[in-house]
Amino acid sequence: MGVTTSDSIRKYSNPIYIAAGGKDLIADSDPQTLCNMINCGNHLRVYQDSNSHGTDMFSDQSLNPPLSKLIISWLSVAFGKSK
């Protein structure tokens, strides 16, 4: 699609959470490498058995914990809001 993730991810100053399917054949970047570029620490989740990509991850019922719950929990901590 013309977007180079490694170049684009460096432009963000807000906290970033990276989630990826371990068997995602579409992604062109290794999620751990991206995490290391921005020092995301433990804000990385790789669903090893999933081949889901992008927003398809939100409807993938096999992800545990579900991505939407994981992101909502992270947002409440990252931006100081209580549930």
27 residue type, one letter: A
Q: What are the pLDDT digits (tens) for 20-35?
A: 998 887 776 788 888 8
- In which region does residue 54 sit, left (phi positive, over 0), alpha (psi from -120 to 50) or beta (all else)? left
67: exposed, middle or buried (Cβ count in 10 Å: 0-12, 13-18, 19+): buried
> What pLDDT, on a 0 to 100 scale, did the predictor assign at position 46?
92
What integer best gives the mean pLDDT of the chain? 85
Contact 51, 25 (CB under 8 A): yes
Contact 27, 78 (CB under 8 A): no
Q: What are the pLDDT digits (tens) for 69-80?
A: 999 999 998 888
> What pLDDT, on a 0 to 100 scale, did the predictor assign at position 81?
63
Q: What is the mean pLDDT of residues 33-58?
A: 90
SS3 content of the chain, % helix, strand, coil (to 5): 35, 10, 55
Q: What is the mean pLDDT of residues 8-30?
A: 83
